[in-house]
Structure 1
Amino acid sequence: MNYQAFATLYDHLMAEAPYDEWVAFTKRSLGVDSLQGLSVLDVGCGTGELLIRLLQEGADVTGVDLSSEMLVVARDKCAAIKKQPLLLHQDMRNLEELGQFDIVTIYCDSLNYLETPEDVMVTFASVYNQLPEGGLLLFDVHSTTKVEEGFIGQTFADADDEVSYIWHSFAGEHEASVEHELTFFVQDDNGSYNRYDELHKQRTYSISDYTSWLEGAGFTVEGISSDFNENPPTDESERIFFVARKK
């Protein structure tokens, strides 16, 4: 599938994503009512939906994504609201020296697209270099429960006049890993439907694993919560949030 096409379909798939809640989590983690004047590196910024909200909160935001096609969509969205943030095509595992940011965010389970524990550890080390002493890394991941019980063996579907999709999820090759098989049907200008297929793989780990890897990279874990609230994770939690500070 042409990834430019999927970049556009991604927004349709994520239409109900709680972007405002990620912004609220960010402000709550910093203990502020506004992000005015703060510098943010948004890693895995995708098509820019969250990035735009951070800009509108007054933050100075730089966006990074592995997909140049996603970044094209993000750039167009920013231009539409007369914003021109720096958007960079980079791999989170090997970020260039981009400067020093008050905050690095890796939201919307972007870390779960990394394939191995080594990839996660290298990413934490890469992010560490973008922060001054005391800078914060904020991220969320799927819980093992979400992957093993909420995704594996499940089928999701949605249909409307312009875009319809069927989404099958099945077990990956590793523990707490999942493969998402997505089929989209997109209406063209002639009223016909074109089919597009995508396969996405995700993998998650235990809270203790993430904590150990963060500490190994030089971070202090200041907070672990779940599902966009301040409650500690339970066996039923679906999304785990981490607040880590550079020592």
Structure 2
Amino acid sequence: MSVFENYADLYDLFYSDKDYRAECDYVIDLTEKYSKGPVRSILDIGCGTGGHALTWAQDGLQVMGLDRSIKMLIHARKKAEEMKISLPFVEGDIRDFDLGKKFDAVTAMFAVMSYQTYTEDILSSLRSVRRHLEPGGLFLFDAWSGPGVLSNPPRERVSSFWKENTEILRTVQPEHDVNRHIVEVHYDILCIKDDKIVQRIKEIHPMRYLFHREVADYAEETGFEMVACKPFMKQEETLRVNDWNVMFVLKAV
């Protein structure tokens, strides 16, 4: 079962301020810099409710979205229908999917690779992606950065949201396992209506933070070379110790 099965219905509310347009433009800028040719087709892995995939589709690209969560895919398909966009959203696991076709680029946005907490899961994911790229194709993904997490460990956060006449309180409590390079993110979500708790959702999302050298080694082992590693949403800057989110660009060899 996906960790997002219960979280999915509130996902777009929680991330309503996420700038999908800026992130999609950033990815395209990276492909223009590092791709061997124009990128016309994109596979978006861990597509969630379709924010990135639908934006690229609006730009005229051929896009397919893949996710483990059926609930997320239901939301994505509903959005596509409302926007009158023909875009396939399919169920699949990044570690072992096989679509029988290749793409100019593959993306895994919003720390999808950090959800691969075992080394073998990371390697399996990279092999699956590699099967769907021609030599020179790109795999672009953001992840939690090891130096950033260690220098500025995650802390408890409480946020309040409103959906119609219901208040939604989200408490995020991290548990850090330094030896395993994993932060278990505990979500406790209370839905409150007329001063009464009408729903409670609890989920645990284990997140692995990654280091430049290990990703370079994993890439080499699975048929890639790392061509870029930079702070997320930055084009030219080099990675700094306190950068929490990092963007990796791998090229299929």
TM-score norm. by structure 2 comes to 0.88
* Cα deviation code 1:78-127 (max 9, x no counterpart): 11101131111111000113301011001111100112111111111110
Residues 157 and 116 of structure 1: CA distance in aligned 2, closer, same or farther (over 3 Å): same
Q: Which has the higher strand share?
A: 2
Aligned-partner Cα distance in 1 for 2:191–2:197: 8
Aligned-partner Cα distance in 2 for 1:80–1:93: 31
Aligned-partner Cα distance in 2 for 1:48–1:211: 29
Aligned-partner Cα distance in 2 for 1:203–1:180: 11
2:245 to 239, 242, 245: 239
Within the alignment, does 1:166 sit opposite 2:168 as a pair?
no
* Cα deviation code 1:131-158 (max 9, x no counterpart): 1121111111110134335454x11111
Structure 2 equivalent of residue 59 of structure 1: 61
Aligned length: 243
* Structure 1 range deviating more: 107-116 or 180-189: 180-189
Aligned-partner Cα distance in 1 for 2:194–2:79: 23
Aligned-partner Cα distance in 2 for 1:218–1:6: 34
Letter in 1 for 2:215: Y
RMSD (Å) for aligned C-alpha atoms = 2.4
Runs of 4+ in 1 over 4 A off after TM superposition: 1-5, 187-192
Identity %: 23
Within the alignment, does 1:201 sit opposite 2:206 as a pair?
yes
Letter in 2 for 1:123: S
Structure 2 equivalent of residue 17 of structure 1: 18
1:34-49 to structure 2, matched below 5 A, reads 38-49=40-51
Q: Which runs of 5+ in 2 are unaligned?
A: none
Letter in 2 for 1:20: R
Within the alignment, does 1:181 sit opposite 2:186 as a pair?
yes
Q: Following TM superposition, by how much is the alpha carbon of 1:21 offset from its aligned partner in structure 2, in angstroms?
A: 2.9
Tell me if the contact between 1:151 and 1:170 (Cα under 8 Å) persists in the aligned partners.
no
Aligned-partner Cα distance in 1 for 2:85–2:16: 22
Q: Following TM superposition, by how much is the alpha carbon of 1:30 offset from its aligned partner in structure 2, in angstroms?
A: 2.0
Within the alignment, does 1:213 sit opposite 2:218 as a pair?
yes
Q: Following TM superposition, by how much is the alpha carbon of 1:62 offset from its aligned partner in structure 2, in angstroms?
A: 0.5
Aligned-partner Cα distance in 1 for 2:74–2:226: 34
Q: Which runs of 5+ in 1 are unaligned?
A: none
1:102 aligned counterpart, secondary structure: strand
Letter in 1 for 2:200: R
